[in-house]
Chain A
Amino acid sequence: MKQMLRICAFAGTLAIAPAVADEDTLFADLGGQKGIDRIVEKSVDNYLADPRIGAIFDESNIERIRAQLKDHFCMVAGGPCKYAGHSMSDAHRGLHLTNANFNALVEDLQSAMDFLGVPFITQNRLLARLAPMQHDVVTR
């Protein structure tokens, strides 16, 4: 029992400690707007080159998507911008995206951040805020 309590205390400490430290520094930790712009540029390049999802963007205005993603990521990261685009569910309505599509977007974003040298732990803080959007984005 004592051993179990110790393990639980250890688990609790691990789970809580980083959460306390996460006083919205994410925008800064991603390199501010400049860093986010680079992440978006590289991610969108990856999306278009990805055989799994590239075709989804065939009918899209790519420059508009880049601009809106920059605003959106900035807002999600706690930065000083307003995302004025469509809601997540509106923006992806009719695309019939699957979880495999959503995860491909995540993997391309991860490899963009790897490419730009964003630390794994910082990547995960951003991904944690984007992950719940699966509920609105994936419809199939």
Chain B
Amino acid sequence: MRSTLFGLPLAAGLLFCAPVFAQDAPQPSLWRRGADLFDQGKLLATGGVSQVEGAGGGGLANWALISGYGTDNGIGLNGHYTYVGLPDYHLHTMGVAVGLFDRLELSYAWQEFNTRSVGAALGLGQGYTFHQNIFGAKLKLVGDIVYDQDSWMPQISIGLQHKENDRGAVIAFVGGKGSVGTDFYLAASKLFLAQSVLANVTLRETKANQFGILGFGGDKYDDYSTQVETSLAYLFSKDFALGAEFRTKPSNLSIAKEQNGWDIFAAYFLNKNLSLTAAYVDLGNIVIRNHQRGAYVSLQAGL
């Protein structure tokens, strides 16, 4: 009853205003204007691909650019799937990211880490899985990766990745101090266009063990530490880049010495709607298994 009382004047008001709207007939419809926001106005590849935690970047490394192809007047939206196959583990990641006005990026990723036979060896069960939700936000502060070719100013962004792991008991058992953690980072990306080279350096404050898959903080060290992500890519054409990345990781748990990761990647941008990344990745030791090196493939589709 109450809603009807409020609804009636509203409806009357809308009717009253309808002729006013009608006079603006040349104005594009709301739907049209909404669709126009997905302007795909950025240059190919300048939206990057989806890094392993779902942010706009490379593979292991986060970049300063805002995901998607929306310009400062538009929005870019994309989803991705990433698979990492290692000798003793594998990882699936699915996620979505939205880039708002080439200024703010919001992302969500879901990860499933499968321990395969290691799970059985540790008494957790064959194929025991860890899951993680990652909520990310990235804000572009200064610089532009494409236009600032006349200065050394890189594009600089700050961001965070909030991670929630569903295996608190196991994490506690292996010495982890928490199943929830937040990484903070500062990223700088520079395109040396005349040289066709893209360089990135990111500093990350983190407590995460193996990206958070083994929780946050540990019996050996339970505080934030500064980690580095670097990547360097060479652009062979508008739609193809080859590069290498290096990412340091803390070693907080006494049961295993966590090592740094690196990869060599190829990214192919079919168009602004679809990109494919393939990499050879080395994550070093993971818990009781050394030499975790293998294939990384990622597909990103977007508007």
A residues near B (Cβ < 8 Å) are 3-4, 7-8, 10-11, 14-15, 18-19, 22, 98-100, 103-104, 106-107, 110, 120-121, 124-125, 127-129, 131-132, 134-135, 140
Check B42 for interface membership: any CB of A closer than 8 A: yes
Given A11-B230, A107-B43: A132 in contact with B150 (beta carbons within 8 A): yes
Check B29 for interface membership: any CB of A closer than 8 A: no
Q: For A128, give its contact among B41, B194, B199, B230 (CB under 8 Å).
A: B194
Contact with A along B192-231 (1 / 0, CB 8 A): 1111110100000000000000000000000000001010
Apart from the given pairs A98-B72, A120-B235, 8 other A-B contacts in the complex at a CB distance below 8 Å: A3-B246, A8-B230, A15-B199, A19-B194, A99-B41, A100-B71, A104-B41, A127-B193
The 4 closest A-B pairs by CB, nearest first: A100-B41, A128-B194, A128-B193, A132-B150
Check B73 for interface membership: any CB of A closer than 8 A: yes
Establish whether residues B232 and A124, one from each chain, have CB atoms under 8 Å apart when the complex forms. no
CB-CB contacts below 8 Å: B227-275 with A: 228, 230, 232, 234-238, 244, 246, 248, 260
Chain B residues with Cβ below 8 Å from A129 are: 149, 194
Shortest Cβ distance from residue A109 to the other chain B in the assembled complex, whole angstroms: 11
Establish whether residues A103 and B41, one from each chain, have CB atoms under 8 Å apart when the complex forms. yes
Given A107-B43, A110-B238, A128-B149: A100 in contact with B194 (beta carbons within 8 A): no
Contact with A along B121-163 (1 / 0, CB 8 A): 0000000000000000000000010111110000000000000
Check B39 for interface membership: any CB of A closer than 8 A: yes
CA distance A132 to B236 in the complex (A): 22
Given A11-B232, A98-B41, A100-B74: A19 in contact with B147 (beta carbons within 8 A): no
CA distance A100 to B46 in the complex (A): 13
Q: Across the interface, name the chain B residue whose C-beta is closest to A107.
A: B43
Q: For A124, give its contact among B44, B193, B246 (CB under 8 Å).
A: B193
Shortest Cβ distance from residue B130 to the other chain A in the assembled complex, whole angstroms: 28
CA distance A25 to B141 in the complex (A): 35
Contact with A along B156-196 (1 / 0, CB 8 A): 00000000000000000000000000000000000011111
Establish whether residues B41 and A15, one from each chain, have CB atoms under 8 Å apart when the complex forms. no
Chain A residues with Cβ below 8 Å from B146 are: 131, 134
Q: For A132, give its contact among B148, B196, B232 (CB under 8 Å).
A: B148
Shortest Cβ distance from residue A67 to the other chain B in the assembled complex, whole angstroms: 26
CA distance A72 to B194 in the complex (A): 18
CA distance A3 to B150 in the complex (A): 31
Q: Across the interface, name the chain A residue whose C-beta is closest to B240.
A: A120
Contact with A along B60-73 (1 / 0, CB 8 A): 00000000000111
Chain A residues with Cβ below 8 Å from B144 are: 134
